């Protein structure tokens, strides 16, 4: 049977819609698990344990950024297939060991107690598993099965959330509850993700191939080091003030984690819009279809900014009452902090969009220096001011630095296009 052009176009449209639907659902579930667990912990364990969890999770995100080494964007935009899927997976395996060792050193240097150390290590292990799984999702995406990655994320989130609730309800121990989530994720990676990926591409690494793929991994790490540096630095803008608030105002860190929740929603919006378009953007740029590329980027920025402003308006109108209803504690003194936090989150989402776009174009130097210098400035200002002024100043610094980053990233992006 001869397939007509119209049938092929309809199949491509269906495939893209399916990818959008399941990827959106999966990414939403993946990002929702942290704030949902925060609600559960605050309700069952109280604001103190909530603070421990939110701080530990944020630190785990930093180590996750290291373990991702630039993320899936570089992998799926490798249109020339310079490296095999096995090589990309080996990168994550090598870095996973470094992640966990680094987490142990970090906890020891800061002299955290057993509970805080245990929760940090458990959540870093959770992110280790997630990082390895993400490289497998890259295999699915380049083989036009992004929807399967979305399904996997959804199943893991639901099962992990359920297991956490059961263990925490029975024990009121967030460390054991976090370990339950880790166990669920390991099961899904082994018995679901790997099996599906193997149907599309042989990702099994034989024992006599390990040294070869480790060598490949270090080549990829060297090649992708600019991407890693950019994405790693991008994780710091919220966590720099968080670290100093935890150091000097530990009683406020629980509130900080909860007030940062709307940023998760904004990050979700950005992920829904951006991730399914990465391959198309890469192909258009590689094929020198710059007009289409520009229009797509403009649309991505416009949608992200518009929906971000909708979230900001909703935060202004009903943000505090909703948080009080959900968490069962008072936030009356934190309305201004919440609004500033969300405004900073919108700017942060736009920064992330520009980072991904500049990674697609393989331009790293400008954004590296933008993020490095702005984060150094944020660290200095946080160290000087947060000890005496606390949460409000920390959040304000986060917002101002991200606005500055958006302006500079826009300039960098326009400069790249002028040279194209």
What is the secondary structure of 74-140 as a DSSP string? HHHT-TT--S-HHHHHHHHHHHHHHHHHHHHHHHHHTT--HHHHHHHHHHHHHHHHHHHHHHHHHHH
Same domain, 108 and 156: yes
By residue range, what is the domain housing residue 255? 235-420
The token pair that represents 221 in the structure block = 């790490």
Q: How far is CA 237 from the centre of its chain?
A: 13
Render pLDDT for 59-68 as a digit per residue (tens, 0 to 9). Answer: 999 999 888 8
Which pLDDT band holds residue 79 (cuts at 50, 70, 90)? Answer: low
- 288 in the same domain as 180: no
Q: Which is more confidently placed, 10 or 178?
A: 178
Q: Identify whether the C-beta of residue 31 lies closer than 8 Å to the C-beta of residue 267.
A: yes
Q: Is residue 296 over pLDDT 90?
A: no
pTM summary value = 0.80
- Comparing 76-90, 168-182, 259-273, the range with the smallest average pLDDT is 259-273
Q: Six-digit token pair at 69?
A: 């080494």
Cα separation values, 299 from 16, 25, 277, Å: 17, 21, 11
The 8-class DSSP code of residue 302 comes to: H
Contact yes or no for 231/65 (Cβ under 8 A): yes
Average pLDDT, the chain: 88
The whole-number pLDDT of residue 206 equals 83
pLDDT above 50 (res 407)? yes
**In the predicted structure, residue 402 carries a pLDDT above the cut 60:** yes
The answer to whether residues 281 and 300 touch, using CB atoms and an 8 Å cutoff, is: no
What is the pLDDT at residue 1? 47
Query: How many Å apart are CA 186 and CA 171, to the nearest integer?
Result: 22
What pLDDT score does 182 carry? 97
255/340 same-domain check? yes
Range 361-367 average pLDDT: 86
Higher-scoring residue by pLDDT: 410, 266: 410
193, 225, 257: which is the final residue of a domain? 225
Q: Would you say residue 6 lies in a domain?
A: no
Domains identified in the chain, total number? 2
The answer to whether residues 262 and 404 belong to one domain is yes
> Does 12 reside within a domain?
no
| Cβ-contact 351, 403 below 8 angstroms | no
| Stretch 130-151: mean pLDDT | 90
pLDDT at residue 269 tops 80:
no
Is the pLDDT assigned to residue 4 strictly greater than 60?
Answer: no
Cα distances (Å, whole numbers) of residue 87 to 11, 25, 92: 31, 29, 9
Q: Which residue has the higher pLDDT, 122 or 209?
A: 122
Q: Does 152 lie in the same domain as 76?
A: yes
């Amino acid at each position: 049977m001869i397939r007509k052009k119209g049938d092929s176009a309809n199949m491509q449209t269906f495939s893209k819609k399916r990818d959008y639907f399941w990827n959106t659902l999966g990414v939403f579930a993946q990002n929702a698990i942290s704030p949902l667990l925060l609600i559960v912990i605050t309700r069952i364990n109280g604001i103190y344990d909530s603070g421990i969890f939110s701080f530990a999770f944020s630190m785990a995100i930093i180590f996750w950024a290291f373990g991702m080494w630039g993320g899936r964007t570089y992998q799926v935009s490798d249109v020339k297939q310079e490296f095999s899927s096995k090589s990309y997976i080996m990168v994550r395996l090598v870095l996973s060991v470094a992640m966990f060792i680094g987490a142990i050193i970090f906890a020891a240097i800061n002299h955290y107690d057993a509970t805080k150390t245990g929760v940090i290590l458990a959540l870093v292990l959770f992110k280790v598993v997630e990082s390895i799984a993400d490289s497998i999702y890259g295999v699915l995406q380049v083989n036009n099965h992004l929807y399967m990655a979305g399904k996997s994320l959804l199943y893991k989130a639901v099962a992990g959330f359920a297991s956490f609730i059961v263990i925490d309800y029975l024990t009121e121990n967030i460390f054991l509850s976090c370990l339950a989530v880790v166990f669920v994720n390991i099961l899904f990676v082994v018995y679901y993700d790997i099996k599906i990926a193997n149907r599309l591409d042989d990702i099994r690494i034989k024992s006599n191939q390990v040294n070869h793929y480790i060598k490949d991994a270090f080549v990829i790490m060297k090649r992708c080091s600019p991407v890693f540096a950019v994405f790693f630095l991008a994780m710091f803008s919220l966590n720099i003030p968080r670290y100093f608030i935890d150091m000097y105002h530990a009683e406020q860190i629980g509130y900080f984690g909860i007030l940062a929740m709307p940023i998760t929603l904004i990050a979700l919006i950005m992920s829904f819009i951006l991730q399914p378009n990465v391959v198309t953007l890469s192909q258009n740029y590689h094929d020198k279809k710059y007009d289409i590329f520009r229009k797509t980027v403009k649309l991505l920025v416009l949608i992200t900014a518009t929906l971000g402003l909708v979230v900001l308006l909703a935060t202004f109108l009903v943000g505090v009452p909703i948080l009080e209803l959900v968490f069962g504690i008072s936030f009356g003194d934190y309305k201004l902090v919440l609004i500033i936090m969300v405004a900073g989150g919108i700017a942060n989402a736009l920064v992330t969009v520009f980072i991904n776009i500049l990674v697609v174009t393989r331009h790293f130097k400008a954004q590296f220096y933008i993020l490095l210098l702005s984060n150094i400035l944020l660290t200095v200002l946080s160290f000087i001011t947060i000890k005496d002024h606390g949460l409000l100043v920390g959040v304000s610094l986060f917002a101002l630095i991200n606005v500055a980053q958006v302006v500079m990233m826009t300039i960098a992006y326009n400069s790249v296009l002028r040279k194209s």
